[in-house]
Every structure is written in C-alpha cells, then in structure tokens.
C-alpha cells in the first residue's frame, strides 16, 4: 500500500493526513515534497495526522525529522497528532519523541496554535 497524503487548510493551519506506509522511496519523498511546497508558499503552522499510518521505517522517521527541522528553520511550527502506538514506540526507542510537538487529536493540535 502506498502513502496517501490529503491536505486541507483551516484558519491558516495546514493539515496533512497521511494514510498507508511511510517508508523509503516515493512515500517518504512525497512527504518531503509536500512539505517543501507548503513551506515555500509561506505556510508556518502545520499539523501532520498520523492516525492512518500503519508502518514507518527508518526513512519515514528521517522524513519526519527533516520536515520538522525545515519547518523550524523557516520559523514555523509542526505538530504530529494521532500517533499510533507502534510509531510512538519507534520514536521513543530512537530517542526522537521529545523532538516533536505532539497532540492526541487533530482538534487539540489545531487549538494549540
């Protein structure tokens, strides 16, 4: 299953909903490309909803780290929401969870801006 990326905007906050596998190749490159376009357009408040991501490999984790770094470098803010237990465990084991702002729900993430 490939990765689907649905994008929408609510009150100047860009919401990306990912569905599928966030892995090496087109999937992780798609996340990077989508984020680059958003940042180039001036977007600075972004939420990535991971509720429907069923698998993440090291390249997928790398893509999340990269988009987080680029967002911060442009003065923006990136939040992850609906992190499934398997991804949360991978981020925790890798010592990466504290790097990200997280929220249990998309609504809570949007409200935090």
Span 10-29, pLDDT tens digits: 999 999 999 999 999 999 99
Q: Where are the alpha helices (DSSP H) in 1-113?
A: 26-40, 58-73, 85-93, 106-112
**Rounded to two decimals, what is the model's pTM?**
0.93
- What residue spans define the domains of the chain? 4-112
Q: What would the two tokens of residue 26 be?
A: 């087109």
Rounded to whole angstroms, the Cα distance separating 55 from 113 reads: 28
DSSP state of 76: -
Report the relative pairing of strands 101-103 and 13-22 from DSSP bridges. Answer: unpaired
Span 69-82, pLDDT tens digits: 999 999 999 999 99
Rounded to whole angstroms, the Cα distance separating 51 from 69 reads: 22
pLDDT of residue 1: 62
Q: CA 98 → CA 22, 48, 75, 79, distances in Å?
A: 20, 16, 19, 12
- According to CATH, the superfamily of the domain at 4-112 is STAS domain (3.30.750.24)
Q: Which of 37, 2, 36, 38 has the alpha carbon at shortest distance from 19?
A: 2
């Amino acid at each position: 299953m490939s990765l689907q990326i649905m994008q929408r905007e609510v009150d100047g906050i860009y919401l990306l909903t990912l569905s599928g596998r966030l892995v090496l190749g087109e999937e992780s490159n798609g996340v990077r490309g989508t984020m680059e376009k958003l940042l180039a357009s001036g977007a600075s408040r972004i939420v990535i909803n991971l509720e429907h991501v069923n698998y993440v490999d090291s390249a997928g984790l790398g893509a999340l780290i990269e988009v987080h770094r680029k967002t911060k470098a442009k003065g923006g803010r990136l939040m992850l929401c609906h992190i499934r237990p398997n991804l949360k465990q991978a981020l925790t084991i890798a010592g990466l969870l504290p790097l990200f702002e997280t929220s249990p729900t998309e609504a809570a993430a949007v409200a935090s801006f």
